Every structure is written in C-alpha cells, then in structure tokens.
Amino acid sequence: MAVTVIHLALSWGLLVLIWLVQIIIYPGFHRVPSEDFRTYHAWYVKRIIAIVLPLMIGEVAAVALWLATAASMATGMAAVLVAVVWAATFLLQVPIHRLLSKGKQTKLINRLVVTNWIRTIAWSLKALMVTVIAAGQLF
C-alpha cells in the first residue's frame, strides 16, 4: 500500500509538471526573444532537470517495486508507459533541446511541443491508472 501511495504522489507530480510544460513552458519558448534564447534555454534546462530527473528516477523505482510486489496487467501497463516516457525523453526531447541550446529555431520549438504530446499522454494515462489502482486499494 505504501508503494502505491508513493507511486500515486510521483504520478500526480509528474502529471501536473508535464501539463505545465505542454501548455505553458514549451509554447512559451516562442515568446523569448532570439537574442535572449540561448541564455534562457540554458537557465531553463538546468532548473527543470533538477526537478524532473529525481521524479523520473523515483517513478522508475516505484514501478519496479510495484512490479516486484504486486505484478498485474495494470502494473505491467504502468511500466510500459514509463518506458514510453523515457524513450520519448531521451530519443526525442533531449536531442531537440541540444539543438535549441545553440539558438532559437521556431521549427524545433514546434517539434518539441508536438513530440511532447507522447509524454503528456503517457503520463496522463499512467496517473489515471495509478489513481484507479490506489482507489481500489483504499476503498
């Protein structure tokens, strides 16, 4: 039960964060003047990593523990969704951020927003799934 509660907290933390990124932060890159973009982007990346990476590592640990102690179809699906998020992060988002670190490019910002929907949808589905499982355990 404790693992589920921790997993629930991590899932909702990441859910709120990804929706802020999807709706406010990434589209907001368009509003940063080109001459300030490299500095702003470096500032953003340094800070967001300090928030997101510990949450993502915690999520992996929670899913692994959940699988080890309560393996089911739902926990397996949660693990698949986490794998999708990690793949999208390191195969899509990180390379785009590396390119943006060189300077503002509207096409890259648009690609960042579009490809981020993969993570937004995966984390949303996972948060919903963890919430349903937690509710079933609590009630």
Q: Where are the domains of the chain?
A: 2-138
Predicted structure pTM score: 0.94
Per-residue model confidence (pLDDT) at position 114? 98
What is the distance of C-alpha 78 from the center of its chain? 14
pLDDT of residue 66: 86
pLDDT at 72: 87
Q: 125, 1, 101, 126: which is closest to 48 by C-alpha?
A: 101
Supply the pLDDT for residue 17.
98
Residue ranges in the chain whose pLDDT is less than 70: none
pLDDT computed for residue 39 by the predictor: 98
Give the whole-angstrom CA distance, residue 137 versus residue 50. Answer: 32
- Residue 4, pLDDT score: 84
What's the pLDDT at 2?
82
Res 127: pLDDT: 96
Q: How many CA atoms lie within 13 A of 16 on its CB side?
A: 7
Name the residue among 50, 48, 70 with its Cα closest to residue 4. 70
Q: How far apart are CA 80 and CA 94, in angstroms?
A: 20
> Which residues in 63-97 are b (16+ Cβ under 10 Å) and which e?
bebbeeeeeeeebeebbebbebbeebbeebbeebb
